[in-house]
Structures are given as structure tokens and as C-alpha cells.
Structure 1
Amino acid sequence: MVRGKIEMKRIENVTSRQVTFSKRRNGLLKKAYELSVLCDAEVAVIIFSQKGRIHEFSSTDMQQTLKRYHKHAKAVQTNTFEVEQYMQQLMHESAKMAKQIEILEASQRRLLGHDLDSCSAQELNQISDQLERSLRNVRERKAHVFMEQIQQLKAKGRLLLEENAKLHIECCARPLQQHLVEEKGGGGADAFYNRMNSSQSSSSQTISNSDQLETRLFIGPPVMRCE
């Protein structure tokens, strides 16, 4: 026979209520004992009947269990109090930070030229001085950045000039090396330099012979001269 679901409400019949109390009390104490044995747990159960009678079960000494419970409850209350204080402190700091943010936003709007109607002459002078200081700092930073860029460009220009000089030297040296390689079959570098010297000597001799030619000035029709 399947047991029906019992509705959770107070039993109005006194006799039935007393019977149910006795059965469920014994079952509860039995379950507490089984829990302490199976799970090696410290279990304590205290039951007061409707007439004020006490029924209890403890896997160890009841007084020690109660002391342990009170100590734990006190620690929990202390932790709860500390948590509440910490939460109140966070809320206070959050409100203070929100107020500071509001002040900063108002100051920023005034620096941008908005909401100036409520400002006094002194506040307007302070805003003007602050803007001038900010502008001066921006200009100084701008000049510093420009100087750094100029120095970087100068250094880059020097590197390019050095590289250009190296390339110029390499380009001038390559034709001479190529000519020496071509003359390798005709005696190498020595033969090339000897031919260069002989060529220069021939040129000098030709120039000296031309200097020894006799030059005379004749007036009249050309005539044949015999040496």
C-alpha cells in the first residue's frame, strides 16, 4: 500500500498530534544517531514537546557541544559585524568618490567653456590662470618633441651621408679592379702599369719632338723648301 503525501500543517486532533510527535521524535533521534556513527559527526538534538518535556540526543557531551556551538555562533556574529562595518566603509568611500567625480566633471565642463554662468569673478580668474598654465605646458612639450624629431632627422642624415660616401668609394674602386681583371691574361697588374708608363713616355717624347720643330714666318706665295 502506497503511503500518501501528508500536508504540512498543524494537526488539529490532539491525540493524533501526540502520536505523530512520538513517532517522528523517535525517528529523528534515530537518524541523528545514524548520522553520528556513519559520518563520524558531532550531532546534538534537543526537542521540547508541547507540554514542555525535553528530549535530547548527543553523540558526545551535550555541554561541550553547546559550548562549541556558542563559540561558533559568536565568531559568526563577529564576522558578520566586521562584514557590515566593511560594507558601510565601502559605501562611504563610494559616496565620497562619486562626489569627487561630480566635482571633476563640473571643473572639466568649465574648462571647456560650459556652465560658466554660476561662476564668480574669482573662479573665472582661476579658470583663466589654469588654462594659461596648461597652454604653456603644451607649448613646452611641443617644442621638446620638435627638438627630438630634429635631432633624430639630423642623425639619420649623417648616417645617409656616411653610407653615400662608402658607396661612392666602392663605385670608384670597381672600374680599376675590373680593368685589372681584364688585363690578367696579358701579364697582370705589372704589365698594365708598364704599358701605362710606356704610354705616358711616348706621349712625353712626342710632345718634346713637337717642341723642337722649326717654325719660321714667310710672306708671299708658298714655295717648296729643301732641307
Structure 2
Amino acid sequence: MARGKVQMRRIENPVHRQVTFCKRRMSLLKKANELSVLCDADIGVMVFSPHGKICELATNGNMQGLIERYKGNNTKEQGESSKQNKPQIIQQEVLLLRQEINLLQKGLRYMYGANDMDHMNLHELQALESNLENWVHNTRSTKMQIMSREIEVLRNKEGILKATNDILQERIIQQSGILETGSNMVTPQFPFQRTMESGHYF
């Protein structure tokens, strides 16, 4: 009697799961070994058990050697693939740059008075409008930055002038105080003075 088809899903019973793992692991390693012998192929198989134990099979060498060969081959394939794709990428970039240059030339001719509007399609006009908006935005941003820097410089100059003015005001006040003190000094009176009329001293 033929055995029914086994459903591929996780075995819930841990004992049955462990037995099935051991049986199928041995079958897998046996098939890999047979394939290596029959076809003279280098095969590496690594199996980690549910408990974390590793079981490996490496034909015609060791597992580390096969891993190094895999890494080298994979890197080589990636390099060849990138070399094959590089010319295509360069061609796409050149095409995009040519389209952008053509659009900019048309836009410059239009801005300088040559009416090329009839020769520009809707997509080109939309791209030109977007570029003009970006240019205006960048121009305004640069202008605001320059104005902010100039305002900051003027504020610094204003602060320096105010400080200098305060120092000069203090010096003027000090000098005016010294002059007032000198003018208010009282002339000393001598005890013996002679009047012009009497000629007496007192």
C-alpha cells in the first residue's frame, strides 16, 4: 500500500520532530555525498539542529575552503555584473545630461528674447517653469543671507559707535566738571587791606 503524502508543516510533537530531523538529515547528507561521487562535484552542506548543534558535510576538501571559494566567486560575479551595467548607466547619464542641456539652452534663448515657445512641448515648458522657480527661490535665499550678514555687520558697527560715544561723553563730563571746580575757587582775603580813600589799614 502506497504511503500518503506528508504535509509540509511543523511537527508539534517534540519527540517525533527530533526523530524526523535525524532521519532526514542523514538522508540529505547521503544524497549530497552520492551527488559528489557520481558527478565529481564539490558540495558543502551545513545543518543546524533545533538545539543549535551544527552538522556539516564537505566533499573534496573542508567547509572553510568551500566558503572561501563561494565568497570569491560571488564577489567576482558581482564585479562582472557591475562592469556590464556600468556602460548602460553611463549612457543613461549622458542622455539625461543632454536633455537637461537642451532644455536649459531653450530656456536661455527664451529668457533673452528669442521666442522658442512654439518649439517647446508641454513637458519642456513645465520643466523650464520648475527650474525658473528653483532659480528664483535660490536667488532670494542668497539675497536674504547677504542682507542678514550686512545687517549684522551694521549692528556691530552701531554697537562700537555707541560704546565710543559713551566714552567720549564721560570724558566731556569729567573735563567740564574740572573747569567748573576751577572757576568756583574763592580768592583768599588778606587781613591787612588799605582803602584808597582813607589810606588806613585794617
**TM-score, with length taken from structure 1:** 0.42
Greater helix share, structure number: 1
Larger radius of gyration: 1
Higher RCO (C-alpha under 8 Å, 6+ residues apart): 2
- Taking structure 2 as the reference length, the TM-score comes to 0.46
